[in-house]
Structure 1
Amino acid sequence: MDILSLKTPNYLPLFFIMFFILYLIAYFILFRTWTWKLRPEASSCIISLAHGTPAVFLASYAIVSDPTRNFDSLNTSFQNLVLEYSIAYFLMDLLHYLVFYPRDILFIGHHLCTLFVFMTCRYMVYHGAYAILVLLILAELTSLCQNVWTLASARKLDVKFAAKVYDLLSPPFYALYSVVRGFMGPYFVYRMVVFYLSGVANNVIPKWVWISWISVVVMAISVSILWISNLWIELYSERMIKVEKKIR
């Protein structure tokens, strides 16, 4: 079947406008009483919440509803829609970083690389959405916990409830994040590498494309593991300090 005949409406502009409006609502209304320093990060958390958990359910349905799903299968219309939903979010969050944190090269680079993967899958090769959406699910499984944790962390010094939420949520969030990024993610990437190295997908997904995908994902997972490792160390140090204070 001709790929051109499978073209579906592009909802990317609509999704981007939705995230943009949500960001403005969060920044100027929802967090209007927060300091100017905290409002951008909090607004970013809100659009992340609007993307993360819904993306998990949407991507899961997009995968399950495709009976021919495989690492090189043709994208379905719904899979393309989910990709557009995520592309819109990352474009909006990239704009957020460029405006408020232009020196945060790590996150800007992360978003650019992620956009490269999503956009080549959606608009260039038209195949491989199954693999990309599984990775999206793994990446966003911890989104709800992470964003609540981030918001609590931002106010833990001046709001007692936020401090309690932060302390209560940290261990389970770190544990879930560690399992997903430290074990489930690497295992799925291993399966991708084995499949693509076989050469089966080379006629629909050029070698340089899937190598780029793998490289981006490996870098993202590596940074994630380093990040969560540092958080575990900080948590351990904080708990040890509390124990020492009690003993004294």
Structure 2
Amino acid sequence: MSDDVKDTRTYRSKVRQEQARRTRQVILDSARRLFAERGYAATTIAAIAADAEVAQDTVYAAAGRKPEIFRLLLETAISGTDEAVPAEERDYVRRVRAAARAREKIEIYTAAVREIGERMAPLHRMLREAAGQSPDLAAIRDAIAQRRAANMRLFAQDLAATGDVRDGLDVDQIADVVWSTSSAEFYGLLVLERGWTPDAFQQWLADTWCRLFLVPESGM
């Protein structure tokens, strides 16, 4: 096989992959909009397909059944990209791990919590309402909560390893506080329901974690 044929096939494959990515993104955008307007239960695959201007079979092939579509919306909201990204591969996680001092780690992470909260809070509100009627969504909600708990424990261990954490706090305590206060639900309560600005939320969260977890810096 000549190199020209290989190059042509590689090019065509990349074009098809990009087309598939764009199609899935259009479907997810339509689903997000319709879920917000009509609610999860009232939104059908047929409606998503019509809004996205694709066939229903294309919706299933590109994004899956309705629970899977909602899971993809959650995962991409967490990652901030059009693909789900494992926690250890996210840019902010790498920067947290690389930071030497606990205060810097907290500042990096609370900035990420604010950005994720802006994307996740509306979806979480829908998830909370729909999970009671959909066992599939309830399972997705529980799986994400457990995964977050495991990731928060890694973050707590990372803070403790700096030597900046106050005496008397253990990793599990720190992890549980971080898990609850960094949740989309908590963000939604303060920002969406109580009217805090995202900036105010981020600043308050960083200050709260530093006061709760860290040995006060000299002169403070």
**Max Rg structure:** 2
Q: Same fold (TM over 0.5)?
A: no
TM-score, normalising length: structure 2: 0.40
Higher relative contact order (CA 8 A, sep 6+): 1
TM-score, normalising length: structure 1: 0.36
